[in-house]
């Protein structure tokens, strides 16, 4: 089962990036894509009313997404959302009629069906505050982005209160990311053995 692991943090020395690397290593069959290393314009200049040619790095990123059986995104929460660079990547590669479309009745249809997902999300706030605030970052990334495009189930691992975490706590989180990566790989193998190769639209 192949996986695409997207590291959405601009800083390679961040906890988020370390979690992405640990997850990808433990998964075994994963391509790690660090958004900060891509050369692309994150701004969708005409919205979705015109074509904007994909830069070579984005073309490869989209090909990796379409060929993956599993998609994991590692991101911090910044201002109740994700970093602008990650949002820009998603704006550019989640292309209508490629990753989703609208049916004649107006309902959306995800075209990334057959893929599973994982979110590794870091946050300085405590978990109770996320619930109190309505968890907008999770809703946007999990429900309105990944599941909207047909990726499901999307499992979520939170790492909260990061600013108060000591080295032992951070080490335990890295171990947790490895456990998740290994478990997601095993789930994918079991799914394929039970149902046969994944069929995509």
CB 30 within 8 A of CB 177: no
Domain spans of the chain?
A: 3-195
| CATH number belonging to the domain at 3-195, selected among 3.40.50.300, 3.40.50.360, 3.40.50.720, 1.10.3210.10 | 3.40.50.360
Determine the pLDDT at residue 44.
94
Determine the pLDDT at residue 51.
86
101 pLDDT more than 50: yes
pLDDT digits (tens, 9 = 90+) for 9-18: 999 999 999 9
pLDDT digits (tens, 9 = 90+) for 170-195: 999 999 999 999 999 998 656 544 44
27 pLDDT more than 70: yes
145 pLDDT more than 50: yes
Confidence of residue 112 (pLDDT cuts 50, 70, 90): very high
Determine the pLDDT at residue 192.
45
pLDDT digits (tens, 9 = 90+) for 41-68: 999 999 988 889 999 999 999 999 999 9
pTM of the model: 0.92
CB 8 within 8 A of CB 73: yes
Confidence of residue 136 (pLDDT cuts 50, 70, 90): very high
80 pLDDT more than 90: yes
Determine the pLDDT at residue 133.
86
* DSSP string computed for the chain: --EEEEE--S-TTSHHHHHHHHHHHHHSSEEEEEGGG-------TTTTSS--PPPHHHHHHHHHHHH-SEEEEEEE-BTTB--HHHHHHHHHHS-BTTTEEE-TTS-EEES-TT-EEEEEEE-SS-HHHHHHHT-HHHIIIIIIIIITTT---EEEEEE--GGG--HHHHHHHHHHHHHHHHHHHHHHHHHHHHH-S----
Proportion of the chain above pLDDT 90, given as a percent: 85
Determine the pLDDT at residue 70.
97
């Amino acid at each position: 089962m192949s996986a695409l692991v997207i590291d959405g943090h601009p800083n390679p020395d961040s906890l988020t990036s370390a979690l992405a690397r640990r997850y990808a290593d433990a998964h075994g069959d994963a391509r790690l894509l660090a958004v900060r290393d891509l050369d692309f314009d994150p701004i969708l200049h005409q919205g979705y009313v015109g074509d904007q040619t994909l830069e070579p790095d984005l073309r490869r990123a989209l090909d990796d997404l379409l060929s993956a059986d599993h998609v994991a995104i590692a991101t911090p929460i910044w201002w109740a959302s994700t970093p602008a660079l990650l949002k820009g990547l998603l704006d550019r590669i989640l292309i209508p009629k490629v990753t989703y479309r609208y049916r004649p009745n107006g309902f959306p249809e995800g075209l990334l069906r057959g893929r599973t997902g994982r979110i590794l999300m870091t946050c300085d706030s405590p978990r109770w505050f996320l619930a109190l605030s309505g968890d907008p970052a999770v809703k946007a990334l999990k429900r309105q982005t990944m599941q909207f495009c047909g990726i499901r189930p999307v499992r979520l691992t939170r790492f909260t209160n990061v600013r108060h975490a000591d080295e032992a706590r951070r080490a335990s989180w890295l171990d947790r990311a490895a456990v998740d990566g290994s478990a997601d790989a095993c789930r994918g193998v079991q799914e394929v053995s039970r149902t046969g190769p994944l069929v995509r639209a």
